Structure 1
Amino acid sequence: MKYLTRTIWLLSLVSLFTDLASEMLYPVMPLYLKSIGFSVVLIGILEGVAEATAGLSKGYFGQWSDRIGRRLPFVQWGYGLSALSKPMMAVLQLPWWVFLARTTDRLGKGLRTGARDALLSDETTPAFKGRVFGFHRAMDTLGAVLGPTVALFWLAARPTDYHNLFLLAFLPGVAAIFITLLVRERSRAPSGKPIQPFWASFSYWRRAPISYRRVASALLLFALFNSSDAFLLLLAKQRGLSDATVIGLYIFYNLVYAAAAFPAGHLSDRLGPRRTLATGLVLFALVYAGATLAKDPLFFGFLFGLYGLYGAASEGVSKAWLSNLCASTDTGAALGTYAGLSSLAALGASTLAGFIWFWGGPALTFALSGGIALLVALYLGLAQTEHSKA
């Protein structure tokens, strides 16, 4: 597969190791937070603030990488911060320190995301972007399979030993940093556009093509009601499933996601991202409708499998689509702006979900998210945009 260049392989390996580190902690994070006194509402606020930190920085650093014509420094420093955040969680259990550690991790994500996605886009052509982003998502999600698996075996041998698990997660993060040193980016001309102030990180939106804004707006509406995956894990735990079963479900979800991401990208290149994304959102709605009824592990396993198919048909496909709706000199700003606004939407989504869960229960939380997903799927299924394949 000639379109998978050395740079694409290396960046995908970096994402694999980084996600291995992050996902060793993600499925146990809500369990750990509950064990140190965090309420469901506070967990929602923590996740929202963390994602907002990433959101406020993605657009800024993305357009900065366009301006100077370089992507790699942002990638290297971004992955470095995320690696540093892992052992931080093992130092203190105070709420303000937990917030600082999560914020450091998300700042690293904000620093690297726009530049990394632009680097992937720069390495290929519009005809292969679905497959390239799908391959990257597959490798990234393979790390999300390996990470929880390590956590599962660790906690089976050493129950509730979260402290040393945070230290262990530092090792694959360090491996990711070293791999970034092997990446070589192609020289490119700076965009020539002035770097906007941090508070104007999303200024690209005003000059973006209308086709970009239509697609991004629909996806952002969905993101505003798409709460953190932690709530699905909390629901499974609330329905009586053991910690090991909850982690096992998360591993299965990521395994399906990793296996389906590249085929979904290939399908997007052939049939068009519009149909692929709409199908993914319908799957999301089915999962959230079923989650309100699920009680036994087998039904939860079926739902998490569908959830993996939704992930494969959405994240990489949306990036590939949006990167084809902007000028090549604006790729970092375009993808960074969308990723940033998505993270800000996650602030509202996770915080809102926490309060709705507290006051109205999980059924209302999931019903609202599923309903919005269906509306956006209907829009994407019917709307026509420039440069989108029917």
Structure 2
Amino acid sequence: MRAVNRDASRPALSAWRFVTVFGTVSLLADFVYEGARSITGPLLASLGATGLVVGTVTGVGEAAALGLRLVSGPLADRTKRFWSWTIAGYALTVVTVPLLGVVGTLWAAVSLVIAERVGKAVRSPAKDTLLSHAASVTGRGRGFAVHEALDQIGAVIGPLTVAGMLAVTGGDYAPALGVLALPGVATLALLVWLRLRVPDPADYERDTAPAPSAAAGDAGRLPAAFWRYCGFVALTMTGFATFGLMSFHLVIRGLLPAALVPVLYAAAMGADAVAALASGWCYDRFGGKVLLTLPILSAGVAVLAFSGSAVAAVAGALVWGAAVGIQESTLRAVVAGMVAPGRRAGAYGVFAAGLGAAAAAGGALTGWLYDVSVGVLVVAVVGIQVLALVVAMTFRVCSEQVDDGMSPSRYPVDTSR
């Protein structure tokens, strides 16, 4: 009787199938919103926006996408309605994007741009929590890495599709953004199907042994290791240049035509996917020490991307993509290992908000230093990343003692059905 009950409680999909289907959901969603984000600036300009308006709107949007997770994360933990938060966030995104192509006023377009980013804030902590349960079986590094790799396929296809539609229609934004309604509908349909098949992904994690550091999160406060980890990540992000600044450098220095910048961005997203898979496998195999490569890559971005050589600058953009791949996959996997399931969505909200604040500060810092001197920018970024390495090693931030505490041999066997 016990055996029958235990089997009945198992999810209808294997953990790997759950991860790959969820990754396909993200692929379709990225197809939608990355396609729109690739032309947000020109679209707003066509409605009369100034450079200040574009910069402010996109900045407010990113702040909303990250900062509001401080609210959505704890609320998801409190209500335990992780699927509802996830579906609502995706719905807000896939509805607002096609409407961008048909609104005729600047204020309406601005509202939709910000609403799309709010959708990301609504869904992300809950989505990461759902994914973390299945990843506890597949290996947290590998689970988040495969999800990120699939995600980035959409990030490549979306902008290229929009660019193709603009070329065919002579620059008409309505059909270029309207076509994104198709993957948007597919996103919601697949998400609802997955929710019906696996109503409670926490079942994946019920038979796994909790890590000692994760158990600390059950006491009502996030564990100290989590806060040290957030400090390390924030420091690396403070010295991390944005693609916007790199593309600015490429164009104004005459290293690359503006028309090729989206192609380079797509290539960087490909590097993102490859790096996510590699770092995820290494994390499960060797532990948190793999994160020590992040400050090294971030320093390499500055050295290469802001050089006077087109080849070196392009290489720097690819290294930037690889660093983003680690940020978007393995960094999130580590959080799942440090915090117990009952506090995990809130922890993801705190982590994302801190990451966003550090990224904003880093963008402002590197932009200001670029105007002062490219040489000063490179030296400052390298110095910050060296400091991040010292902090990580001094406080053992990336040691086995503060990662998920689960060696690959302790993961349950995931058999497909």
Give, in whole Å, the separation in 2 of the partners of 1:43 and 1:367.
30
Q: From 378, 381, 385, give the equivalent of 1:373.
A: 385
TM-score, structure 1 as length reference: 0.83
1:218 aligns with 2:232: yes
Deviation of 1:227 after TM superposition, in Å, equals 5.4
Q: From 345, 349, 353, give the equivalent of 1:336.
A: 349
The letter of the residue matching 1:101 is L
Deviation of 1:284 after TM superposition, in Å, equals 2.0
Give, in whole Å, the separation in 1 of the partners of 2:63 and 2:19.
28
Give, in whole Å, the separation in 1 of the partners of 2:136 and 2:315.
36
2:165 aligns to what? 154
State the secondary structure of the residue aligned to 1:181: helix
Give, in whole Å, the separation in 2 of the partners of 1:89 and 1:128.
39
2:259 aligns to what? 244
1:258 aligns with 2:249: no
Counterpart contact for 1:280–1:309, Cα < 8 Å: no
Structure 2 runs not aligned, ≥5 long: 1-12, 204-217, 408-417
More moved, 42-51 vs 90-99: 90-99
1:313-361 deviations in Å (ceiling 9; x for gaps): 332111111111112211111112211232344444445556666x537
Deviation of 1:73 after TM superposition, in Å, equals 0.5
The letter of the residue matching 1:268 is Y
1:16-51 deviations in Å (ceiling 9; x for gaps): 011111222333334555666656555443332112
Cα 1:348/1:320, change in 2 over 3 Å: same
Give, in whole Å, the separation in 1 of the partners of 2:381 and 2:172.
34
Deviation of 1:179 after TM superposition, in Å, equals 1.1
1:186 aligns with 2:186: no
- Residues 55-204 of structure 1 mapped to structure 2, 5 A cutoff: 55-92=66-103, 95-125=106-136, 128-158=139-169, 160-183=171-194, 184-186=198-200
1:301 aligns with 2:314: yes
Deviation of 1:74 after TM superposition, in Å, equals 0.6
Give, in whole Å, the separation in 2 of the partners of 1:355 and 1:269.
38
1:268 aligns with 2:283: yes
State the secondary structure of the residue aligned to 2:250: helix
Cα 1:285/1:94, change in 2 over 3 Å: farther
1:313 aligns to what? 326
1:286 aligns to what? 300
1:102-127 deviations in Å (ceiling 9; x for gaps): 21111101111000000011123277
1:196 aligns to what? none
1:193-247 deviations in Å (ceiling 9; x for gaps): xxxxxxxxxxx99921110000011212333454543333333333343343111
Q: Tell me the percent identity.
A: 25
Give, in whole Å, the separation in 2 of the partners of 1:206 and 1:224.
29
More moved, 157-166 vs 303-312: 157-166
2:10 aligns to what? none
Give, in whole Å, the separation in 1 of the partners of 2:361 and 2:127.
25
Structure 1 runs not aligned, ≥5 long: 190-203
1:231-279 deviations in Å (ceiling 9; x for gaps): 3333333334334311110111111222332222011111122x32221
2:244 aligns to what? 230
1:14 aligns with 2:25: yes
The letter of the residue matching 2:80 is G
1:192 aligns to what? none
Counterpart contact for 1:83–1:173, Cα < 8 Å: yes
State the secondary structure of the residue aligned to 2:303: helix
1:49 aligns with 2:60: yes
Deviation of 1:369 after TM superposition, in Å, equals 4.6
Cα 1:133/1:78, change in 2 over 3 Å: same
